[in-house]
Structure 1
Amino acid sequence: MGKAHGFTGSALNRLQALYRATGIRQRYSVISDYQQADSRKWNFYPNSEQLEPFPTTSHRADLYRKNAARLSVRATQEALQQTHLVASDFTHLITVSCTGMYAPGLDIDLVHELGLNTSIQRSCINFMGCYAAFTAIKLGDQICKANENAKVLIVATELCTIHFQKSGDDDNLLANAIFGDGSAALVMSSQRADSLQPTVLSPEAFLNDIYPEGADEMAWGIGNFGFEMKLSAYVPTLIEKGIGHLVTRLLASTSNQRIDHYALHPGGKKILEVIEKALGIEKHADWAGRKVLAEYGNMSSPTILFVLKMLWESLDSNHKDHRVLALAFGPGLTMESMLLRLV
Structure 2
Amino acid sequence: MGAYITAIGTANPANRYSQEDLAQFMCDHLTEDANQHKKVKVLYRATGIKHRYSVLDDYKKQPGTFTFYSNEENLSPFPSTQKRMNIYRQEALPLAISAITDCLDNNHQLSEFTHLITVSCTGMYAPGLDVDLIKALNLASDIRRNSLNFMGCYAAMNAINLSKEICDNSPEAKVLIVSVELCSLHLQKEQTEDNLLAHSLFADGAAAVVVSGQLQKNKPALEVMHSASQLFISGQNDMAWQIGDFGFEMALTSYVPKIIEGGIQKLTSDLLAKNNLALTDIDAYAIHPGGKKILEAIENQLGITKTQNHQAYEILKNHGNMSSPTVLFVLNQVWSPLKSQPNKKILSFAFGPGLTLESLLFKTV
Matched residue, 2:49: 24
Matched residue, 1:251: 272
| CA distance, structure 2, for counterparts of residue 299 and residue 261 of structure 1 | 22
Name the aligned partner's letter for residue 208 of structure 2. A
The answer to whether the Cα contact below 8 Å between 1:131 and 1:301 also exists between their aligned partners in 2 is: yes
2:237 is aligned with 1:216: yes
Name the aligned partner's letter for residue 235 of structure 2. G
Task: State the Cα distance separating 1:39 from its structure 2 match.
Answer: 6.6
Matched residue, 1:36: 61
Task: State the Cα distance separating 1:148 from its structure 2 match.
Answer: 1.3
| CA distance, structure 2, for counterparts of residue 176 and residue 278 of structure 1 | 27
Name the aligned partner's letter for residue 55 of structure 1. P
Question: Displaced runs of 4+ in structure 1, greater than 2 A?
Answer: 37-40
Q: 1:66 aligns with which of 65, 74, 90?
A: 90
Name the aligned partner's letter for residue 245 of structure 1. K
Q: 1:325 aligns with which of 347, 359, 362?
A: 347
| CA distance, structure 2, for counterparts of residue 184 and residue 160 of structure 1 | 14
| CA distance, structure 2, for counterparts of residue 37 and residue 90 of structure 1 | 45
C-alpha distance after superposition, 1:209-245 (max 9, x if no partner): 1011101100000000000000000000000000011
The answer to whether the Cα contact below 8 Å between 2:228 and 2:358 also exists between their aligned partners in 1 is: yes
- Gapped regions of structure 2 (runs ≥ 5): 1-25
Name the aligned partner's letter for residue 277 of structure 2. N
Matched residue, 2:363: 341
Task: State the Cα distance separating 1:34 from its structure 2 match.
Answer: 3.0
Task: State the Cα distance separating 1:341 from its structure 2 match.
Answer: 0.2
Matched residue, 2:19: none
Secondary structure of 2:307's aligned partner: helix
The answer to whether the Cα contact below 8 Å between 1:240 and 1:278 also exists between their aligned partners in 2 is: yes
Trace 1:123-272 onto structure 2 (pairs within 5 A). Answer: 123-193=146-216, 198-257=219-278, 258-272=281-295
Secondary structure of 2:337's aligned partner: coil
Name the aligned partner's letter for residue 253 of structure 1. K
| CA distance, structure 2, for counterparts of residue 94 and residue 37 of structure 1 | 39
Distance change >3 Å, CA 202–CA 38, structure 1 → 2: farther
Matched residue, 2:27: 2
| CA distance, structure 1, for counterparts of residue 220 and residue 284 of structure 2 | 15
Secondary structure of 2:191's aligned partner: coil
Matched residue, 1:57: 81
| CA distance, structure 2, for counterparts of residue 45 and residue 71 of structure 1 | 22
Name the aligned partner's letter for residue 88 of structure 2. Y
Task: State the Cα distance separating 1:198 from its structure 2 match.
Answer: 4.2
The answer to whether the Cα contact below 8 Å between 1:34 and 1:47 also exists between their aligned partners in 2 is: no
Q: TM-score, normalised by structure 2?
A: 0.90
Instruction: Choose 263-272 or 27-36, whichever is displaced more.
Output: 27-36
Task: State the Cα distance separating 1:256 from its structure 2 match.
Answer: 3.2
Matched residue, 2:141: 118
Name the aligned partner's letter for residue 219 of structure 1. A
Trace 1:78-117 onto structure 2 (pairs within 5 A). Answer: 78-81=102-105, 84-117=107-140
Task: State the Cα distance separating 1:248 from its structure 2 match.
Answer: 0.6
Task: State the Cα distance separating 1:14 from its structure 2 match.
Answer: 1.1
Secondary structure of 2:210's aligned partner: strand
**RMSD (Å), alpha carbons:** 1.4
| CA distance, structure 1, for counterparts of residue 50 and residue 209 of structure 2 | 26
Task: State the Cα distance separating 1:320 from its structure 2 match.
Answer: 1.3
Secondary structure of 1:28's aligned partner: strand
| CA distance, structure 2, for counterparts of residue 336 and residue 281 of structure 1 | 18
Task: State the Cα distance separating 1:2 from its structure 2 match.
Answer: 1.0
Task: State the Cα distance separating 1:67 from its structure 2 match.
Answer: 0.3
The answer to whether the Cα contact below 8 Å between 1:157 and 1:183 also exists between their aligned partners in 2 is: yes
Name the aligned partner's letter for residue 335 of structure 1. L
Task: State the Cα distance separating 1:36 from its structure 2 match.
Answer: 1.1
Task: State the Cα distance separating 1:199 from its structure 2 match.
Answer: 2.1
The answer to whether the Cα contact below 8 Å between 2:289 and 2:315 also exists between their aligned partners in 1 is: yes
Q: TM-score, normalised by structure 1?
A: 0.96
The answer to whether the Cα contact below 8 Å between 2:116 and 2:145 also exists between their aligned partners in 1 is: yes
- Gapped regions of structure 1 (runs ≥ 5): none
Task: State the Cα distance separating 1:128 from its structure 2 match.
Answer: 0.3
| CA distance, structure 2, for counterparts of residue 255 and residue 179 of structure 1 | 37
